[in-house]
Amino acid sequence: MEYKGKILIVDDEEDILIAFKDILEDEGYFVDIANKPKEGLKKLESEVFDLVLSDMRMPGMSGEEFLEKLREFNNFTSFVIMTAYGTIDNAVECMRKGAFHYLSKPIDFNDPKVWKIIEEAVQKSKLMQENLKLKEELKNIKEKKEIDYIITQNPQMLELLNNIKKIAPFDFTVLITGESGTGKELFAKAIHKLSPRKDKKFITINCANISPDIMEAEFFGYKKGAFTGAETDRAGIFELADGGTVFLDEIGEIPLNIQAKLLRFLQEKEIRRIGDTVSKKVDVRVLAATNKNLEEMVKEGKFREDLYFRLETLKIKIPPLRERKDDIPLLISYFINQFNRKFGKNVKGITPQALEFLVNYDWPGNVRQLSNMINQMCVFADEYIDIQHLPNEIKKNLEQSFFLDYNKAKEKHQKQFMNTYLRILLTLAEGNISKAARYANIERQSLQKLLKKYNVDPSQFRKTNA
């Protein structure tokens, strides 16, 4: 049986423990009980609970003291205090110290507000546990790897990392291929850092950003007076990187005449500045990357075959993000941590609903696009990134992926249908219930009943002026 959540009830009154246990179990929760706070703390030290329901006044330890003891070793289990009329102020003080909410005795389980507090407390705890788990996995992955900025648990990517450890010590030219945004430069840096050249320069050149007219001068340098404007001697990239590594990104953008000079450099390991009469030996390792099909460019006469064969000696291909979706939760956690450190925010993580849609998105811009989107969503998130924070690209994808007609959507997404569908619907309708009802092809009153039943608040999805 799958439970809605795991609850521990702590109260010194035996009849309350038994009665509450029966009621909560009937609602689908796993429930354990303790008639003493110390007994409750022992259970919490050995088991994971989503929620503690604790009485305020108990012999030996108050509910407030119990909460303080719990928070010494557990920050994720939600805590709801059960309080009599005369101790409301104490309950409010507990909330200041980290309690999720309070319930006033006698507790009326026929009141929907009571169930809403319990359900939201359980969900918050599960959310915190899931994000803590992601952070722990991220920490473990970093500790196990020499390259802590390539975040992955994907078998294909781990095999690539293993391969570059083997490639790095040998001074071969390496061609790195993959779609734009997959992280080709990160892999080039990793090869450099794992090589004997790690303490020397690593210089990145994006060939697409250099005008063909000045590319030769950028690569090989020039002598004073070699051309108009050459007022001093200037070293080129390969000379400046002597002893280190040069990473030529977008190598497919190099014009044919420069390709010939690059090939000669790779073969002879020497450069001649423009206007100079003598050559100079330089010790540089060249790594190259492209998102183009160089083999096709060779057939079309746009890329030299001999240079292609020289580059292809060692080749690694980075898979696109859509083929390594198991990495998306880890990457999201990594980018959220980065954002928090950089801007001093405290975004705690992402909700399961929002995560699901990010995982199911195809990411045409790969890891770079994911990073940019997480930064954008973190700006507007208070605690957790949720569906309403998704950018327009994702919303358009949701509109295409989920039928807005109620019956069709229910048929396609039965398991998680209600909560997910309603959140998407309100996101697209910007919290407008009438508009959402028209999208869903149901009566406004019926939609309101569904929203109430599944505790979805339309106000969370209303457009605000940022």
pLDDT in tens, 102-134: 898 889 998 999 999 999 999 999 988 988 888
Q: What is the pLDDT of residue 230?
A: 80
CA distance 412 to 393: 22
Dihedral pair phi/psi, residue 451, rounded to 5°: -65, -40
Token output for 132: 């803590």
pLDDT in tens, 28-65: 999 999 999 999 999 999 999 999 999 988 988 998 89
Amino acid occupying residue 402: F
Sequence-ordered list of residues with C-beta below 8 angstroms from that of 370, at least 6 positions apart, any chain: 321, 328, 331, 332, 335, 358, 363
Residue with tokens 């045409």: 364
Question: What's the Cα-to-Cα distance from 201 to each of 104, 349, 426, rounded to whole Å?
Answer: 66, 37, 52
- Give the lowest-confidence range in 50-59, 232-241, 261-270, 396-405: 396-405
pTM above 0.95, yes or no: no
pLDDT (average), residues 2-13: 90
Kindly report the CATH class assigned to 323-461. mainly alpha
Equal CATH topology for 6-137 and 323-461: no
Confidence tier at 421 by pLDDT (50, 70, 90): confident
Report the topology of domain 155-319.
Rossmann fold (3.40.50)
Amino acid occupying residue 260: A
Q: What is the pLDDT of residue 465?
A: 45
Q: Which residues share a beta bridge with 101? A: 80
State yes or no: pLDDT of 431 exceeds 80: yes
Question: The domain at 6-137 falls in which architecture?
Answer: 3-Layer(aba) Sandwich (3.40)
Token output for 341: 């450190």
Domain ranges in the chain are: 6-137, 155-319, 323-461
Which helix (H) or strand (E) segment is 204 a member of? strand 202-206
Q: What is the pLDDT of residue 146?
A: 65
Amino acid occupying residue 340: N
Largest CA distance in the chain: 99
State yes or no: pLDDT of 196 exceeds 70: yes
Please give the full DSSP string across 279-333, using - where no structure is assigned.
-EE---EEEEEESS-HHHHHHTTSS-HHHHHHHTTEEEEPPPGGG-GGGHHHHHH
